[in-house]
Amino acid sequence: MKNLKVIIIAFIAVAALVGLNSCNKTDTVSEPEVAKTTISDYANIVSSFASDFEDELVSGEESVLKSATVESCFTVTVAKNADGAFYPRVWTMDYLGGTCTLLSGNTKKGKIHVSLTDFWKNKGSLKTVTFEDYYFNGNKMEGVKTILNTGLNEKGNLSFAKTVTGASLKYPDGKSISWECKKTSELVAGGSTILFADDVYSVTGTGSGVNLDGEKYTLTITSPMIYKNGCFYPVSGIVTIDTVGGDLQTIDYGSGECDNLAKLTVGGVTSEIKL
């Protein structure tokens, strides 16, 4: 009896699904077993916790940060310090009772709590982000994110140490994927202006977790991921995903285009995917 191992790469909706199944040459053909975790699952959890757009947009100039209704489904509430000091600054973004659809097309529901110890451009400033009954594109997000200003690096660029701990993305069917990471973010363009729209960040680092199949995985940025404000996904960069019992997967985010396309390479075969 000969065992055949077949690697199946299938695209379901907007994701590339990588699976491993085996079958025996018998009179009865068994149903193939495919992995539940898709490339988009990995990309989604990384992008969900990498996105700073909403909280950094309202905290860009702390001197004017105040409670307000930013959109019909989105409010910002700023806490006042008892001693009248401006810092530490604490605020809550509340997407109210329903689901808020942003200009990016992403949906949010629940609350994001943000605390900031000092002006974000000052060395030593620490931002902490937590979530309360919060859903991103219908999936529940949990975890703690910190952003520490580590000052100017050897290139003279502002740098940040970013960590994500105890993070998970829980799907409506109850399955979840976990995530922890340590990354370095460098402001490589836009730092000389007061605008956020022209900011460009270069990100390096590693992360790990347990996927939807209960297998441990490690994500490594092998070529810096470049983020432009206004683009939900990285515009360039290469990451590898090494999963226990699975093939090494490589995602190439492209050469600078602001889109949701990337190239996936598994077992020497490269395909274009939508994130």
pLDDT at residue 51 in the model: 64
pLDDT value of residue 47: 80
The Cα-based distances of 111 to 87, 91, 97, 98, 249 in angstroms read 21, 10, 10, 11, 34
Q: How many CB atoms lie within 10 A of CB 76?
A: 21
What residues in the chain have per-residue pLDDT under 50?
Answer: 1-32, 53-54, 56-60
Domain boundaries, the chain: 41-274
Match 């701990």 to its residue by tokens: 165
pLDDT at 64: 53
Per DSSP, the residues of 23-53 read E--SSSPPPPP--S-BHHHHHHHHHHHH--H
| Contacts (Cβ under 8 Å, ≥6 apart) of 176 | 168, 169, 170, 212
CA 231 to each of CA 16, 58, 195: distance values in angstroms, whole numbers, following the listed order: 21, 17, 15
Question: Rounded to an integer, what distance in angstroms lies between the CA atom of residue 235 and that of residue 132?
Answer: 30
Q: For residue 96, which amino acid is it?
A: L
Q: What is the DSSP string of 220-240?
A: EEEEEEEEETT-SS-SEEEEE
Of the candidates 104, 94, 102, 227, the residue with the CA atom closest to the CA atom of residue 160? 227
State residue 73's pLDDT score: 80
Question: Are the beta carbons of 95 and 116 closer than 8 angstroms?
Answer: no
Structure tokens, 133: 């009954």
pLDDT at 104: 67
| Rounded CA separation 32/264 (Å) | 22
pTM for the full model? 0.79
Can you give the pLDDT at residue 194?
A: 73
Residue 37 in tokens: 């975790």
Structure-block tokens of residue 99: 């689901």
- Check residue 28 and give its pLDDT: 44
pLDDT (0 to 100) of residue 188: 93
Residue 167, classified by CB atoms within 10 Å of its CB into exposed (0-12), middle (13-18) or buried (19+), is: buried
pLDDT at 67 (0 to 100) = 54
